[in-house]
Structures are given as structure tokens and as C-alpha cells.
A and B are shown apart, each in its own frame.
Chain A
Amino acid sequence: MSNKRKAQDFLLQFWTYFAAFFSFATLSLIIFFIFTNGVKLLNLDLITHDYQAKTHIAEPLAPNDTDYFEPEETLKAEVYYSPRWGLGLIDSIDLMGKTQVEIAYVHPSSPFQQLHDKGLSHELLSLKPDMMIIRIAYSDQPSSLARYGAERMIDELALSNQIRELEFTIPGGGIRGSIITTFYLIVFSLLFALPIGIGAAIYLNEYAKNNRFTRLLRSFIELLTGVPSIIYGLMGLAFFVPFIINVSSATSGSILSGSMTMAVILLPVVIRTTEESLKVVPDEYRQGSLALGASKTQTTFRIVLPGAFPGVLSATLLAIGRIIGESAALVFAIGTAIKDDIRVTEQSTSLAVHIWAMMTDEPANIELSSTIAIIILLIVLLLNLLIKLLTRRFLRKVSAPR
């Protein structure tokens, strides 16, 4: 008998050990996979660059005869540098194997820091590392072309006194637009979801009588938590997208309609979490407040709600996680066009939808997707820390120093 019990105990205990190890290993593997695939592409340019490559034609000011720009940092051996123009170029190869000339260094007082855009915008541009030079046309000699390489371009540049025009490309592939969209989405979704969700939670926990209607409402909210988000997406497409088109200049899915759809997805989570945190606010606080002649509403909003603040924060955190991770519903409600110029009444993609777009490309871009996944993980981690910090600061303010 005792042996049997021992065996049972051992098996059950082994099972818990195994389960814990298995969960840990799976999560680590996922993170390992993402990092090994994505870390190569992870750099600041990816985050700051536009998705669409942009070509400009512009005109620099002529340098003075006496100008001589000593580079302020040591340049790599393969960089060709013109001290007269303060420009360093390097050979590189584009994705299709063609030679191209990449800018490696621009001196801070180089004439290339101030370029007149000859296109429609007339804005001032400046050359920066990583941009590609396609062509330089001179007033006093034939043009230099990128296909002859960086060395020849620098040589020809050194001979010239005046540049007529310069054609260069700002490389694309960046996810700046998607990051901005994600933040817009977080802000607007919370703006819609939190007031309504918290209000509903207060009603349910503080005002609603425990009757059949309240129970029905609660089970509805529970049900909504389990509805697949793509169904919310359909609802967004059928309801919020036309609504935003009607009331604004939008012509299709937009960040606003996406946020509204997202807010509906978040409502059940926000309501449940807030209600749980309202429940743990001690009844003594409510009684104490009422006994001082405060009204029920004053008690609710000045005593109970602040007491539930940590819970509301964790509801916010859950909501943000949900917003960052959502893709299916947003494909319908915002659209899948990756944009650089973000407007709340236009289509664009959140980071998760950006991944979706990369993976539906032919061929699927697993590396870039993994890099975006790393960035998503970092954002979630940062927000987590921020909320923890806020909660701790709040708790320190109200509780006894121990």
C-alpha cells in the first residue's frame, strides 16, 4: 500500500516538474527562434526608416575654393572620401546584385548638408549615411553614374566645381510607420475602451442589484471574451469603417475604425479586470465614506475607484498587450497597406499586421518578421516595467512604509 502511494506521489510530482520545465523550454525556444532569425536585421535604421524607398533630385550649394573638410572620425579603408566636398562613399550591392554607391560619411559642414529639393516639395534635404547616390550631374563636365562605382564618382566629384543636380535614394524597408501606427492604435483604443470599460465595471460592482438582468449582462461579457477576434474584425468592417468614412475624410479602413474595433475587443477584458479590482477594495472604506455623509457616487469615485487603481493599471496593461498582438481583426478594420505618412483617418499597419504582410509576401520574409517580433517583445517588456513602476509608486504613496 505504502509502495503504491510512493509511486503515485512520485508520478504526480514528476508530472509537475516536467510540466514546468516543458513550459519554460517552449517559451525559451520561441524567443531563441525569434532572436536567431531577427537579430541580424535589428538596428536603429530599421526603426527610423520609411517603408517606401524615396528618390530625390536636389541641388547643393557650391563649395568655396578654400574648403577642406577633414573627416571627424576615422573612416573605414574601403571608404572613398573627398575632403573638398566632405563626402565619403562606399561600394555596395543591391538586392538584385547591381552595383550601387552608398553614402558612408557626410561631414557636418559639408555642402551636402543643405540641398535644395528640385521636386515639388522645395524642402531642404541633407545627405545621410545609408542613402544611395544614383547620379551626379555637373555644370562643367559629364555626369557620374552609380554603376561605375564609388571610386570613380569621388574622382569626378573632386574635379568639379559646381553640381547641377544630384539624384539619390533614401532606402526603404523601415518600420517607422508601423511603430507610429501601433502607438496611435494603443492611445485611441484605450481612449475608447477604458472610460467605457471602467464605467461598466463600476456599474456592475457598485450600483447593479444582483438580479437576473445583471447576471445576464455578466454572462454576456464573459461570452464576449471568448469570441474570436476575426468576428470583431467583421463587425468593425461592417459598422465602424462605414461610420468613420461617414464622419471624416476617410475613404477606407482607418486607424480610428481600427481603434474602435479594438476597443470593443478590449471591453470584456477591461470590465472583468476592473471589476475584480473593485471587489477587493475593502467594504470598510465604503462604509467609512458613507458614514461621513458622502454620497454613494462620491464614495465610488473618490474612495473606491482610487483604491482599485492598481487593478485598473493591470487592466490597461492587458489591454495594451492585446492591442499590440492583434492582427486578424485589424486586417479588416484598418487594412494592410504599409504607410510611412501616418494619418488617423487613413489605412496603415500595426507591427503585428506588418508581420502578417511580410509573411504573406512571396517569398515570406521570416527574418524581418522576427526582427519586428523582437521589437514587439521589447515594447511589451518596456510597458510592463512602466506599469509595475507606476503601481509600486502608487502603493508606496498610500500604504505604510515598511
Chain B
Amino acid sequence: MTAQNPIVFQIENLNLFYGEKQALKEISIAIYEKEVTALIGPSGCGKSTFLRVLNRMNDLIDSCHITGNVTYHDQDIYQPKTDVNGLRKSVGMVFQKPNPFPMSILDNLIYGPKCQGIRDRFLLKQIVEQSLKQAALWDEVKDRLKESALALSGGQQQRLCIARTIAMKPEVILMDEPTSALDPVATAKIEDLISSLKQDYTIIIVTHNMQQAARISDKTAFFLMGELIEYGDANQLFSTPENKKTEEYITGRFG
């Protein structure tokens, strides 16, 4: 067994409610640095909800409230004085449907840094180039940065969204089914990208695609009906699952 990476997120006894309805039950899990953690499970099992706990995107839903502890580098992110914007800056997020803003590619990339108050044009240019290169998009768009981002293909749009997130220099990137709206070729590019991004970022990815989870993740968590059924090394979870339900799900007997 190799030495364990440091813990980024430590979650203990997390319960989440939408009004009266409980969406997450007694979740306890630790997320490790510079690893890809995949969250799998059938639709409505709470994996996306759990992902949104980590950058407090659930705040946007009025009826949502949580109990339990969610710490990010030993800081409770649900205490009242948490700087939510700062948290979201270092815990970036990529969504299911590519959602570039209706502006030029360039403006999409510098929007985040500009909101942080970065005005230096040289610095912004550097950020644009770096993040596009890291997202493997630079060669495709370097000559058309002024064009509308909506003119890109779906896969390019999604990589632009990843680049946009990287431009914020985050530590963690949350991905909510980033390839579910894309064709196999674009999906493969994003998977390659995730594997290379792992060196610099902690990645937590929600996916419906178990092959994808098996291919790219270091650790996998299986959710069912709002509960965390099993969590462990991806190799082990997919080859010799401990829980009966996990086995039934990954062999395709339900879900």
C-alpha cells in the first residue's frame, strides 16, 4: 500500500434535506488530494447533490439545509463566516451541459479572473494561454479567441468550461457528469484531459458511466438512495466489491 495523499475534504455524518425530503443520509467520506474520485450510482441517488455540497452550490436552493460536518482543509465550510465566493474559486465546478457564457472565447476565460479584480492585461493573457493549454484547447482556438464561444462544438465548449475553471487556479475541480452530453470522441478527449489534470488538481467526478469511472478514477464511491454504500480504491471496488448492492449495480443487475 502506497502512502496516502493528504485529505482535502473530510465529511462526517452529513444529512441534507430539500424541505422535508431527505436527499443525503449520514454520509461520511474523505476525499484525497490529487486523485480522481468518482461518484457513481443510479439517477436520484444523491451523488450530484453531494457534489454540490462541496462548493455550496446547494445554497441556491432555498429549501435546502444540511446537518453534519463538511471540512475543507480542516475548515468547516458551512460556518456562517465562510467566504463562499472564495471557496468556489478554489473548488471549481464543471457542469453536465456545457455552459459557456454567450460571449467570446476570450471573454469567457477572463470573466472569472476579472471578477476577482485582475485587470493587468499581460497577466490575463498569460492566464488565457495557460488554461487553454492545460485544457488541451489552445491549438484549436488560438486563432479565434475573439469568436463567440457558442460557435464551438459541444466537446470544445466543455473543454472551454474546464479551461474557464482552471483559469481561476483552483485546487479542486468538481465535475457533474461532464461527458453525458457529448459523443464518444469528445468523451475520450475529456477523459484524457482528466487523467492529465490529476497531476495538479483534485478531481471529483459524478458519472453514470461505470466504464468511465473504472477507467479514470483512483477512488470510487457508490451512492444509493441518498446513502453511501461503498467507498474505496477503484480497482478493488470494481473487481471485488464488498457490498452485495455494489456488486449488483456494477454488474448491471439494477440501476
Contacts and interface: CB of A to CB of B under 8 A. Distances in A.
Interface stretch (B42-50, B111-119, B121-129, B228-236): B111-119
A284 B115 contact: no
A194 to B, nearest CB: 22
Contact of A293 (B99, B101, B102, B168): B168
A289 B111 contact: yes
Interface in B199-220: none
Contact of B57 (A209, A210, A287): A287
A209, A282, A290, A293 interface centre (most CB from chain B within 10 Å): A293
Interface string B64-88: 0000000000000000000001111
Given A293-B115, A294-B111, A397-B148, A287 B99 contact: yes
Contacts of B97: 284
A293 B82 CA distance: 13
A134 B156 CA distance: 79
Interface string A271-309: 000000000001011111111111100100011001100
Contacts of B95: 284, 287-288, 291
B161 interface: yes
Given A290-B60, A291-B92, A293-B85, A401 B151 contact: yes
Given A284-B97, A294-B112, A298-B115, A398 B102 contact: yes
Contacts of B34: none
Nearest to B112: A292
Please classify the interface of chain A as helix (H, G, I), strand (E, B), loop, or mixed, using the class held by over half of its residues.
helix
Contacts of A210: 62
Given A291-B55, A292-B88, A398 B115 contact: no
Interface residues of B, number: 30
A289 B101 contact: yes
A310 B167 CA distance: 30
Given A287-B99, A397-B148, A399-B102, A293 B93 contact: no
A397 B88 CA distance: 29
Contacts, number: 80
Contact of A292 (B102, B115, B148, B151): B115
A63 to B, nearest CB: 64
A289 B99 CA distance: 10
B205 to A, nearest CB: 15
Interface size class of A (residues with CB under 8 A): 20 to 34
B164 interface: yes
A264 B89 CA distance: 42
B194 to A, nearest CB: 17
B93 A400 contact: no
Contacts of A307: 102
Nearest to A282: B99
B165 interface: yes
A-B pairs, top 5 by smallest CB distance, nearest first, are A293-B89, A284-B99, A398-B102, A291-B93, A292-B112
24 contacts: A284-B97, A286-B60, A287-B57, A287-B95, A289-B111, A291-B88, A291-B95, A292-B88, A292-B89, A292-B112, A292-B165, A293-B86, A293-B87, A293-B89, A293-B90, A293-B92, A293-B112, A293-B115, A302-B111, A302-B115, A398-B102, A398-B103, A399-B148, A401-B148
Given A287-B99, A292-B89, A400-B150, 9 more contacts: A284-B99, A287-B57, A287-B60, A287-B95, A289-B111, A292-B168, A293-B86, A293-B88, A398-B148
Interface of B: 55, 57, 60, 62, 85-90, 92-93, 95, 97, 99-103, 111-112, 115-116, 148, 150-151, 161, 164-165, 168
